[in-house]
Structure 1
Amino acid sequence: MSLTLFALTGAALVGLGVYGLLARPHMLRRIIAFNLIGSGLFLFFGAAAARGTGLDPIPQALIITGIVVALSASALAVGLVVALARSSGTAYLPDEEGRL
């Protein structure tokens, strides 16, 4: 029962992250939404790996590696957003017509 709850919670986090990624124009909110998608995937993969009969350290190692990579990618993305905000004065990307 609890593994199903973890898998459903991971799927809900992915859904919320996709909604936030598509619905929010502010770049920092998009970074947070992208991190929410990653966290949901890590939770879902952890629940899927725990369904096996034996203890397999490979999925756990992959999840930990993914968390480290996601943290460093998030730091890089926030740095790029800060540079964008300093150069253009806003943290929004222009739309197709060039409006902010």
Structure 2
Amino acid sequence: MSETTLLLAAGAIVFVLGVGVTLTVADLIRRIIALNVASGGVMLILLTLADRGDAPDPVPQALVLTGIVVMAAVTGLALTLARRVENDGDDLEPDEDSEGGVP
């Protein structure tokens, strides 16, 4: 088994584990972490595919760098929203006496 095949298999396993946990766990924080794990698997696959051949392909490497930045921003936003939902309870309906709502 070559190194490329081993890294592709590891990336696929990490991705499947992340997606599987995302679909089976009810806790929002654990789902967010599982999505980060799944995106790490995708990034591992992209980096492995970029390193095949004599010269590495810079396009997948740039995609992975961009994905890291986007993942960090989305994770921060998702954690903030999950914290707000957990603090307010699981009731997503607006309060009757709130002034910011529609009359």
Question: TM tier, shorter chain?
Answer: 0.7 to 0.9
Q: 1:14-93 counterparts in 2 under 5 A?
A: 14-88=15-89
* Structure with more contact order per residue of length (Cα contacts < 8 Å, sep ≥ 6): 1
Question: 2:12·2:45 contact (CA, 8 Å) conserved in 1?
Answer: yes
Give identity over the alignment, percent.
38
1:43-83: CA deviation from partner (whole Å, max 9, x where unpaired): 01111111133232221111011011001100100000000
Q: Which runs of 5+ in 2 are unaligned?
A: 93-103
Tell which structure's C-alpha radius of gyration is larger: 2
C-alpha distance in 1 between matches for 2:56 and 2:6? 20
What is the CA RMSD across the aligned residues, in angstroms?
Answer: 1.5
Amino acid at match of 2:61: Q
C-alpha distance in 2 between matches for 1:52 and 1:78? 39
Question: 2:50·2:58 contact (CA, 8 Å) conserved in 1?
Answer: no
